Amino acid sequence: MTKLRTLPLLLAAGALLASSVALAEPKRPECIAPAAPGGGFDLTCKLAQSALLEQKMLASPMRVTYMPGGVGAVAYNAVVAQRPADGNAITAFSSGSLLNLAQGKFGRYDENAVKWLAAIGTSYGAIAVRADSPYKNLADLVAALKADPSKVVIGSGGTVGSQDWMQTALLAKAAGIDPKQLRYVALEGGGEIATALLGGHIQVGSTDISDSMPHIRAGKMRMLAVFSEERLKDEGMTDIPTAKEQGFDIVWPVVRGFYVGPKVSDEDYQFWKASFDKLLASEDFAKLRDQRELFPFAMTGPELDSYVKQQVTHYRQLAQEFGLIQ
C-alpha cells in the first residue's frame, strides 16, 4: 500500500520539477543595454546574444533593447523599481556602472539593490584621438593641457566623476594638473564618443579600447595610450603603448557583465547563471569574446557579488580622494 501511494507522489514531484525547469527558461529573453547603440553596453549584450544563440541555450532569440541615461542609472532604476521580478531580462553593467554606484549617482539604490549575475570579459580604458590629431603620445597631450586646458575638449562617457572622466583625472593628477581645469563634454557611451571625435566636435576621447578598435582598424582613429599593465597582444593592439611605459602609472580595467532584478526567482537566476557558467567555460565563447576585443574575465554568482562589493568600496575611496563625495 505504501509503494502504491509513493509512486503518485514521485510522479507528481517529477512533474513539478520538470515544470519548474521549463519555467526557468525565459519566454521573452531580453538584454538591456543602458546606453545608445554602438558602445560597450551594446557590445556586451550583442556578445551574450550571439553566444546564447550559437550554443542553443534559449528557445527564443534574445532581443537587445536600449535604455540610455546616466550611463546606466536610468536602466538600473527601471529594473529595480519597475521590473524587479522580471526573469526574462538581464542588464549590462561595466566598471563604470560600479564607479557611479559608489558615488550615489544611481539615486536611492546602491550596489545591494540587484542580483549580480555574471562578468564575461574585460577591456581597458584608453585615450583616443583622430588619425590626423597633432597629439602623437601622452606627452604631447599633457603639454597641451598644461599650456591651456580650455583649448583641449575631452569627450567622456558621463559627467564629472564617471569612469571616462576618472581616467583623464588620474592622468592630469599624475602630470600635476588640476583635473577641475579640464574641459569635458559629457556623452552617452563609447558610440557617441567615437561619433563626436570623428566629427571634430572633441579633440580627445577618454574611452574604452574595445569600443575604438573598429575605428582604429579603419584608419580613422589612433590610441595615445591604453590603461593596461602591459601592451595587449591582440591583433592591431601590439603597437598601442600603455600609459605606464610613457611614465604614467595608471591601470584601468573595464569589466563587463550582467545583473538581474532584486526579486527575480531563484529558478530564473539559476537558469541564467548555469547558462553563463557553461558559456564561460566554452572555447566557442572565447572566440566570440576575442572577436569583440574583450579579454578573459569570468565570474558568476556569489563570487561576482563579492567582487562587485569590493570594487564599489575601492571606487568610493577613489571618489573621496578627488573630492567627488564626502
CATH number where 174 lies: 3.40.190.10
Residue type, 187: L
Q: How far apart are CA 103 and CA 50, in angstroms?
A: 33
Cell of residue 49, nine digits: 546574444
Residue type, 274: A
Burial of 234 (0-12, 13-18, 19+ CB in 10 A): middle
Final residue belonging to a domain, choices 207, 227, 252: 252
Q: Which domain holds residue 99?
A: 28-122+254-321
Averaged pLDDT in 10-residue chunks for the chain of 326 residues = 39 39 76 90 95 92 93 94 97 94 94 98 95 97 94 88 90 92 86 91 92 90 96 88 96 96 97 97 95 92 98 94 87
Domain-embedded: residue 192: yes
Q: How far apart are CA 34 and CA 157, in angstroms?
A: 12
In DSSP terms, which residues pair with 123 in a beta bridge?
254
Residues sharing a CB contact under 8 Å with residue 12, sequence separation 6 or more, in sequence order: none
pLDDT digit string (tens) for 64-119?
Answer: 999 998 879 999 999 999 999 999 999 999 998 999 999 999 999 999 999 999 99
Q: How far apart are CA 162 and CA 76, in angstroms?
A: 16
pTM metric for this prediction: 0.81
Residues 237 and 276 in one domain: no
Q: How far apart are CA 240 and CA 254, in angstroms?
A: 17
Q: Is 125 helix (H, G, I), strand (E, B) or coil?
A: strand
Residues 105 and 153 in one domain: no
For 64, phi then psi, to 5°, come to -110, 125
Q: How far apart are CA 271 and CA 304, in angstroms?
A: 16
Residue 79 burial (CB count, 10 A): 25
Predicted pLDDT of residue 18: 38
H helices present in 29-178, as ranges: 40-54, 73-82, 95-102, 138-147, 163-174
CA gyration radius for the chain?
A: 22
Residues 214 and 169 in one domain: yes
- Kind and range of the H or E element at 274? helix 266-280
Residues 137 and 246 in one domain: yes
Domain-embedded: residue 169: yes
Domain-embedded: residue 9: no
Residue type, 190: G
Residues sharing a CB contact under 8 Å with residue 158, sequence separation 6 or more, in sequence order: 70, 71, 96, 100, 164, 165, 186, 187, 188
Domain-embedded: residue 21: no
Final residue belonging to a domain, choices 252, 281, 302: 252
For 136, phi then psi, to 5°, come to -100, -20
Predicted pLDDT of residue 208: 86
Burial of 24 (0-12, 13-18, 19+ CB in 10 A): middle
Residues 131 and 223 in one domain: yes
Final residue belonging to a domain, choices 252, 286, 302: 252
Residues 106 and 135 in one domain: no
Predicted pLDDT of residue 158: 75
Q: How many domains does the chain have?
A: 2
Residues 118 and 35 in one domain: yes
Domain-embedded: residue 23: no
Residues 117 and 53 in one domain: yes
Predicted pLDDT of residue 102: 95
Cell of residue 118, nine digits: 555574471
Q: How far apart are CA 309 and CA 1, in angstroms?
A: 55
Residues 187 and 128 in one domain: yes
Domain-embedded: residue 41: yes
Predicted pLDDT of residue 308: 98
Q: How far apart are CA 262 and CA 109, in angstroms?
A: 11
Residues 131 and 106 in one domain: no
Pairing verdict, β 204-208 and 299-300? unpaired
Residues 161 and 238 in one domain: yes
CATH number at 86 reads 3.40.190.150
Cell of residue 163, nine digits: 569612469
Domain-embedded: residue 72: yes
Predicted pLDDT of residue 6: 39
Residues 149 and 230 in one domain: yes
| Strand spans (E) along the chain | 30-33, 63-66, 89-94, 115-130, 153-157, 183-187, 204-208, 221-226, 253-260, 299-300
Predicted pLDDT of residue 46: 96
